[in-house]
Amino acid sequence: MTPIHLGNNSDATSTSSKSSSNHTQDRNQWPHGFLPKEQFPAFIDLLNQSFDEVIGPRVDQGAIVYDAIRSASELPHGWTDVQSPGVYRLERKSSIDDSRIDPSCEEEYFGYNVGPHSWKKYLFPPLTTLMKSKKTTDGWQMEMTAEPIRRRVLLGVRACELAAIAIQDKVFLTSGTVDPIYQTRRNHLLIIAVNCTQAASTCFCTSMNSGPECRSGFDLAMTELSDGFLVEVGSDAGQTIFESLKLRTVTTDEIDRGRTRRARAVDQITKRMNTDGIRDRLLSQLENPHWNDIASRCLSCANCTMVCPTCFCSSVDEVHELTDDEIVRQRRWDSCFNVDISHLSGGPVRDTIRSRYRQWLTHKLATWIDQFDTSGCVGCGRCITWCPVGIDLTKEVATLCEESS
């Protein structure tokens, strides 16, 4: 196989001048092909041979998580997720009676939506060592920790997740300061997206204009049919792999079936959020008594921010062993729900659950727009499912903005 040049699946990381690597404008000029199901295991093997790591979905501890995948047999074939506020259940598609499931396609590899993990853990790791310093006879010696470069495939990235990666690209790459850890990891990714063919009750990507169809930001995108995958190229790196697969062209019947399957997802999305003028509408409700009602339910546990694919807060600690002549600087995911995060001299600025929830929601949906020219929410619904008390931000927004709308 010819060498694969990575890192050109986004505008943010693209260094070349407007090349053909971003396909949004001339989407149909990129080739489409058909990958039969029988050839899919060999495709996963090929990815494993060509990259250091293939990250994809697998079943673990009662959920579909993202982890290293060494063969197609490790994928959640035939599994699905049933989600509602505060509830997630992993089910065998064949054993549940759910109108969302396409009876012609029960044994899918990608027949679920999104789980507790997000790809963010591979780009913005939960815990990272930034630097080590050592006291020597010559004074302190600092050493930046350079991570070994790992070329990764992200397999099974959904449209909302592509949108989340694009948002984190803004945060970590193009809004002023470049995060070198994120940048290195981001530049060595091959993104294989998967179009959703069903939706969870918690999904609202259509309201956030982020899905369910993958439109940009991938190297390859696939739509799963009962007998194979429609494969679409989205970048030069994707093109290289596509060529090595030697796929036959798709038939009009396959194109139609793919379109029908993708439309199923759109039809199944019932959750909505009215985003018209949401910035001003939400910010005009800062004194709404409903914040108190939310605060009586919210536990300030921070689960919502941990699972959110766009939340980016972290804190940095200097950790030392027993003696203080060797110090390690560590960064870990932090959250606006922690009292300590707003601790200034004299105490915390946001000293109540009310103020912390309000900070989270208004940042995510309103002031994020001022800061990054985009909403901080892609409508993946993770914060709804993984909130242990099932707080649903779309409902809270609707209640908060009731009067003004």
Partner 1 sequence: MKSKPKIAIIKFASCDGCQLTLLDAEDELLAIADAVDLAHFAEASSRLDAGPYDVAIVEGSITTEDDRLRLLRLRDECRWMVTIGACATSGGIQALRNFADHEEFIRAVYATPETIHSLATSTPIASHVRVDFELRGCPVDKSQLLEVLSSLIAGHRPRTSTESVCQPCKRKGTICVVVAQGIPCLGPITQSGCGSICPAFDRGCYGCFGPTVQPNMAGHSQGVLLPRMSERDAVNLLRGFNAAAPSFQQESVRLWQITQTRDSTR
Q: Which stretch binds partner 1 (CB under 8 A): 72-80, 88-96, 140-148, 170-178?
A: 88-96
Residue from 171, 302, 383, 400 in contact with partner 1 (CB under 8 A): 302
Which residue type occupies 234?
G
Q: What distance in Å separates the CA atoms of residue 338 and residue 342, rounded to the nearest whole number?
A: 8
In the bound complex, what is the minimum distance in angstroms from residue 167's beta carbon to ligand SF4? Answer: 8
* Tokens describing residue 54: 């293939």
In the bound complex, what is the minimum distance in angstroms from residue 340's beta carbon to partner 1? Answer: 6
Q: Is 308 in the site for ligand SF4 (CB under 6 A)?
A: yes
In the bound complex, what is the minimum distance in angstroms from residue 263's beta carbon to ligand SF4? Answer: 22
Number of chain positions touching partner 1 (CB under 8 A): 47
* Tokens describing residue 100: 């969302």
Element of type H or E holding 326: strand 326-333
Cis peptide leading into 103, omega within 30 of 0? no
Q: What distance in Å separates the CA atoms of residue 143 and residue 403, rounded to the nearest whole number?
A: 56
Binding mask 253-272 for ligand SF4 (x = CB under 6 A): --------------------
Q: Is 86 in the site for partner 1 (CB under 8 A)?
A: yes
Restricted to residues 188-217, the positions that interact with ligand SF4 (CB under 6 A) are none
The phi, psi pair for 146, rounded to 5°, reads -95, 120
Contact residues for 257 (Cβ-Cβ < 8 A; gap 6+): 225
Q: Is 313 in the site for partner 1 (CB under 8 A)?
A: no
Q: What distance in Å separates the CA atoms of residue 123 and residue 66, rounded to the nearest whole number?
A: 13
Residue from 47, 69, 298, 400 in contact with ligand SF4 (CB under 6 A): 298
Q: Is 314 in the site for partner 1 (CB under 8 A)?
A: no
Q: Is 299 in the site for ligand SF4 (CB under 6 A)?
A: yes
Residue from 391, 397, 400, 401 in contact with ligand SF4 (CB under 6 A): 391
Element of type H or E holding 387: none
Indicate the residue among 35 and 159 with the shorter CB distance to ligand SF4: 159
Q: Which stretch binds ligand SF4 (CB under 6 A): 5-13, 150-158, 308-316, 343-351?
A: 308-316
237, 47 Cβ separation under 8 angstroms: no
SS3 318: strand
Query: CB atoms < 10 A from the CB of 116, how many?
Result: 19
Residues interacting with ligand SF4, by CB under 6 A? 298-304, 307-310, 337, 364, 377-383, 387-389, 391
